[in-house]
Chains A and B, each alone.
Chain A
Amino acid sequence: MAVMTYREALNMALREEMRRDPKVFVIGEEVGLYEGAYKVTQGLLKEFGAQRVVDTPIAESGFTGVGIGAAMAGLRPVVEMMTFNFALLALDQIVNSAAKMYYMSGGQFNVPIVIRGPGGPAAQLAAQHSQSMETYFYHVPGLKVVRPTTPMDAKGLLKSSIRDDNPVIFIESETLYNVKGEVPEDPDFTIPLGQAIVRREGTDVTVIAYMGMMYRAMEAAEELEKEGISVELVDPRTLRPMDTETIISSVRKTHRVVVVEAGAGFAGMGSEIAASVTEQAFDDLDAPVERVTGANAPMPYARNLERLKTPSKDWIVNAVRRVCNANGATNGHASGS
């Protein structure tokens, strides 16, 4: 194990996979000479050359299409979106080509592509650059969607994504790139897709969160512990396929659920998880599933308003108190929607 940043863990995963498999290559804006807008591809051009680290024009639809074609031809492209908000320009390629090619070609062409880059709320990146883009992708049959919370997950899940034979949407976060954590240096270390993790054991309530929201949920759990509320934290890690088994077994233990997501709540991950829990564990619920979500508004640029838009530790604490019928809970849903 080595302690490294989330950014370094991603870089390590790319480097290891490119060394392991010559079919793996990186393509995107500024991935080569500039070594990545967020330096995730640092040193790759030098080690692997311009054939495998390809700088592109600012043309997301074009270079995503190039990646999909290469994947159909047998390569394993890793396409970098400078931020995932720009993937909207490539949405048709991703949804209509990458996700459906295997189905529409009757199994003749699979598309082993990884599309990765940062997404979700960051720090004053405003309305167009702060979106929780996973919702656009996990709705589509044929796409896998990964959101790694820790440096270890970043490495283990990126490697599994690259090795996966189908398209994977891999969304990182600007706010997590500098987070440090232990990461196995073993080049064979991977984390399977579709496997949630219990980050903290608890008995009173299951809080489901990922990425930055998981870190806030951890702070909330600390605070709630002082009040005598024992919080179990579950991180799905892969949003699709979703590991409902781990979630449901936690619910059967705690009987209460709070789902946290940074994006606006309508038809969000919280809704999906709430539905699954109701379908599969209704008789184990002692309280309605509560969602803590971002407000139903574009992300404001102003720092104070940005804080109001995004779930905070206090929102999570409050929601937990509410489902536990504990003192100090205030009425009303935490989401601004």
Chain B
Amino acid sequence: MAVTKVVMPKLSDAMESGKIIKWLKKEGDKIQGGDILAEVETDKADVEMEAFGAGVLRKILVPAGESAAIGALIGVIAEPGDDIAAVVASAPTGAAGAGSGAQKTPLRPEPTPAATAGAASAAAPSSRPAPVVPAGASVAPAARPVPAAPAAAPVAAAARPAAVVSAPAAVPAGLGQGGRVKASPLAKKIAAQTGVDLRLIQGSGPGGRIIRRDVEAAGSGAASGAAAVAAAIPAVAGAEFEDVPLSQMRAAIARRMPLSKAPVPHFYVSSEVAMDHAWELREQLNALEGQPKISVNDCVIRACALALLKHPGVNASLQGDAIRVYHRAHLGIAVALDEGLITPVLRDCHAKPLAQIAAEARDLVERARNRKLRAQELSGATFSISNLGMFDVTEFSAIINPPEGAILAVGSVRRVPVVDDAGLGVGRRMMLTISCDHRVMDGAMGARFLQDVKRLLEEPLRLLV
């Protein structure tokens, strides 16, 4: 047996301390590795904090509502018989154990030998406190048990996951990996005999396992309700609907987006950009041997970075009583994933030539798709770009990613009829729509910025100098 110190995890590079929003376990609760102990508020997001040790949550040292420095002892997990006095006493009040940036992985358990003698380790479970398992024989299988703990640190937020990004999405109680339904063999047999669809049943057994009583309850409900109409309406094969549980990433997006859209007053400015020259230049550049391939988006990134330097009011963020104006352009690039989206940050775009932007952006996107991004690559953007051009989208508007002040939505480059001095011809056009935080800037500022982006793209040699 071991005593596990629970320390404030370091959940993002910029994080110095975290605030306990609430403890999901209380003192005396039995803990298994992977259980979610508490919700922690960091500078970036609310993150669920996972237990790395097993035993009983013996002591909570930092109550809900209070903050602790990273590395500081905030709780102790141990067996009921273990002596934790020394561990508790070793907790410096509010001191940061880890210092700055040394601790890459949060919540590493630090097992220390238990004080009890070996023979006593034959402790009877009957001496352990606090029953945990819910659901009695009389309880209807309606209440879903607490969702299963994710296998690794959860993704913190849609666009700015502060935690480890390679974490697999969590699965709900009833579904295992790959959506497998957990049911007892007997429940499966009865379901097969009675034609009950196990996917539609909430399990009341351990870990959400569907057991006999769940199938029987579902079967009797279906029989009594459906029997009356069964004759009139021909049966349709398959379920009418299914509830796909939220992945951690989806849940984070769902939680976070209203926090932007509701409190941040958005306004939108659109402009059509003639992309003929940029297209031509891009083709010439891509024909050069030994040069990284350059995408339209790379050109947009470069154009935005240069425009942001000229219009620092757009490269800005509301910080309480002040507007923080950034002198460097760190661009967030939204990357669509199957289960949501993520926005890695390409830093110092204003200082990087197009080829470097192209190479680095490609690397970021690839690693985002492979869930190989580092935490620091997910925070610190001053402005974001969301490009749906590959989906043949004319135009759209994006939701600002707080605390950033603006985001640019990029549509497809379309071949359209254009009228110029020579008459009717075919040209390449692209719609840009900027969403701006009206608390930070006004319409004219957004429009001037967009005008400059347009000019940079329409006279693309400017991107090269």
Q: Does B189 interact with chain A (Cβ within 8 Å)? A: yes
Instruction: Using known A-B contacts A295-B122, A308-B122, A330-B131, determine if residue A287 contacts B211 with beta carbons closer than 8 Å.
Output: yes
Over the window 114-132 of chain B, the binary record of Cβ atoms lying under 8 Å from chain A Cβ atoms (1 yes, 0 no) is 0000011111111110111
User: Which residues on B sit within 8 Å (CB–CB) of A279?
Assistant: none
**How far, in Å, is B213 (CB) from chain A's closest CB?**
8
Q: Which residues of B contact A297 (CB under 8 A)?
A: 119, 121-122
Are B123 and A308 touching (Cβ within 8 A)? yes
B205-A325 in contact (CB<8A): yes
A325: chain B residues at CB < 8 Å are 133, 135, 137, 204-206, 211
What chain A residues lie within 8 Å of B189 (beta carbons)? 283-284
The interface residues of chain A lying within 8 Å CB-to-CB of B131 are 327-330
**Which residues of B, 207-235, contact A by the 8 Å Cβ criterion?**
211-212
Instruction: Fill in one digit per residue for A307-318: 1 if any B CB lies within 8 Å of its CB, else 0.
Output: 111001011001
Docked complex: A303-337 residues within 8 A CB-CB of B: 305, 307-309, 312, 314-315, 318, 322, 324-334, 336
Q: Are B184 and A331 in contact (CB under 8 A)?
A: no
A287 in complex: contacting residue of B120, B125, B127, B184, CB < 8 Å: B184
Q: Is B136 an interface residue (CB 8 A)?
A: yes
The interface residues of chain A lying within 8 Å CB-to-CB of B125 are: 315, 318, 330, 332-334, 336
Q: How far apart are B142's CB and chain A's nearest CB, in angstroms?
A: 15
User: Are A336 and B123 in contact, CB atoms less than 8 angstroms apart?
Assistant: yes
The smallest beta-carbon distance between B392 and chain A, in angstroms, is: 52
A282 at the B interface (CB under 8 A) = yes
B122 engages A332 (CB within 8 Å): no
Chain A residues with a Cβ closer than 8 Å to the other chain, count: 34
Q: Are the CB atoms of A330 and B132 closer together than 8 Å?
A: yes
CA–CA, A286 and B203, complex, Å: 12
Q: Mark B183-215, 1 if CB is under 8 A from A, else 0.
A: 011111100000000000000111000011000
Please give, as numbers and ranges, the residues of chain A lying within 8 Å of B127 by CB-CB distance: 308
Query: Once the chains bind, are B30 and A284 in contact (CB under 8 Å)?
Result: no
* B32 in the interface (beta carbon within 8 A): yes
Shortest Cβ distance from residue B145 to the other chain A in the assembled complex, whole angstroms: 11
In the docked arrangement, what's the CA distance between A328 and B130, Å?
9
B212 to A: closest C-beta gap in Å: 5
Name the residue of chain B whose CB is nearest to the CB of A306: B122
Question: Do residues A332 and B124 form an inter-chain contact, with CB atoms below 8 A?
Answer: no
Is B122 in contact with A309, judged by CB distance below 8 angstroms?
yes
Does A300 sit within 8 A of B, measured CB to CB?
yes
Chain B residue nearest to A295 (CB atoms) is B122
| Chain A residue contacts of B130, Cβ below 8 A | 330
A-B contact count (CB 8 A): 92
A283–chain B nearest beta-carbon distance, Å? 5
- What is the chain A residue whose CB lies nearest that of B127? A308
Q: Are A283 and B188 in contact (CB under 8 A)?
A: yes
Task: State the CA gap A285–B189 with chains docked (Å).
Answer: 10
How far, in angstroms, from A334 to B107 measured CA to CA in the complex?
29
Query: A285: which B residues are within 8 A, CB to CB?
Result: 184-186
A327 touches B136 (CB 8 A): yes
CB distance from B210 to the nearest CB of A (A): 10
**Is the Cβ of B122 less than 8 Å from the Cβ of A326?**
no
Using CB atoms, name the residue of chain B closest to A333. Answer: B125
A255 contacts B by Cβ under 8 Å: yes
Residues of B within 8 A of A309 (CB): 122
> Which A residue's beta carbon lies closest to that of B123?
A308
Using a CB-CB cutoff of 8 Å, which residues 61-101 of chain A contact chain B? Answer: none
* Cβ contacts under 8 Å, B136 to chain A: 326-327
A38 → chain B, closest Cβ, in Å? 28
B204 in contact with A312 (CB, 8 Å): no
Distance in angstroms from B81 CB to nearest chain A CB is 10
What is the CA–CA distance of A285 and B188 in the complex, to the nearest angstrom?
A: 10
A308 to B122, CA, bound (A): 6
Nearest Cβ in chain B — how far from A287, in angstroms? 6
* CB of A101 to closest CB in B, whole Å: 40
Q: What are 22 of the A-B contact pairs (CB < 8 Å)?
A: A228-B137, A229-B137, A283-B189, A284-B189, A286-B211, A295-B124, A297-B122, A300-B119, A308-B123, A308-B124, A312-B124, A318-B125, A322-B133, A325-B133, A325-B137, A326-B136, A327-B133, A327-B136, A329-B131, A331-B30, A331-B32, A336-B123
Q: Which residues in A have some Cβ–Cβ distance to B below 8 Å?
A: 228-229, 255, 282-287, 295-297, 300, 305, 307-309, 312, 314-315, 318, 322, 324-334, 336
Given contacts A285-B184, A318-B126, 6 further A-B contacts (CB under 8 A): A284-B185, A284-B186, A305-B119, A322-B133, A326-B137, A331-B32
